[in-house]
A and B are shown apart, each in its own frame.
Chain A
Amino acid sequence: QVQLVQSGAEVKKPGASVKVSCKAAGYTFTDYNIHWVRQAPGQGLEWMGWINPKSGDAKYAQKFQGRVTMTRDTPITTGYMELSSLKSDDTAMYYCAREATTIGSAEFDPWGQGTLVTVSS
């Protein structure tokens, strides 16, 4: 079935970078955009950006411009989100999610299980 499986939890020091992976299965990887959403502890959902796996083009939320990079490795159907210059308030659960259709904009389905990133000195 269609699923996204993310890499495991990470603990990083302030100023470091983290790279989270999102392995796609059960569908043609290059046909659907992948989005990244984060959720700080006890807080709501915050959209970070998306990548078109076919072209590699990515678009980022203004808040993360210059600090986030979304890439993909099509032979292994995996997307990546790298966040640099980490601060304590980057501590959050990071989710990848697939856009549900191949044409136009759409809802997110399915979601990965989440990757907890903890930033602490």
Chain B
Amino acid sequence: DIVMTQSPDSLAVSLGERATINCKSSQSILYRSNNKNHLAWYQQKPGQPPKLLIYWTSTRESGVPERFSGSGSGTDFTLTISSLQAEDVAVYYCQQYYTTPRTFGQGTRLEIK
């Protein structure tokens, strides 16, 4: 199984500042036939299901604010929130969909400092 490891486990950032969450896969999730990394990011707020933010490592889902961006390749990936807003308080998960079983990172809790 591909193990997804996020860092840090929790993060406190001031409003308007940048937040960065890292995700590392135990093996490459680059699919050579389409040259895409099969990585997604989800946001989960309390009492809600996860919401898709980013797929193919860096493609923002429709309606997701531009302050959210994804980057990386191979085994190392990053979710960046360029200017933290109060509504961004949530737990963030990365997920690989390169192979089955589909696996998630353990989550990163983002709070306001």
Q: Which residues of A contact B (CB under 8 A)?
A: 35, 37, 44-47, 50, 59, 61-62, 95, 97, 100, 104-114
Contacts and interface: CB of A to CB of B under 8 A. Distances in A.
Contacts of A113: 49
11 contacts: A44-B104, A50-B100, A62-B101, A100-B55, A105-B102, A106-B97, A108-B50, A109-B55, A110-B52, A111-B49, A111-B51
A107 B103 contact: no
A114 B38 contact: no
Contacts of B42: 45, 108
B52 A45 contact: no
B44 to A, nearest CB: 8
B95 interface: yes
Interface residues of B, number: 23
Interface of B: 34, 38, 40, 42, 49-52, 55, 61, 93, 95, 97-107
Given A45-B95, A108-B42, 5 more contacts: A47-B102, A105-B100, A105-B102, A107-B52, A109-B52
A108 B95 contact: yes
Contact of B55 (A37, A44, A47, A107): A107
Contacts of A59: 100
B102 to A, nearest CB: 5
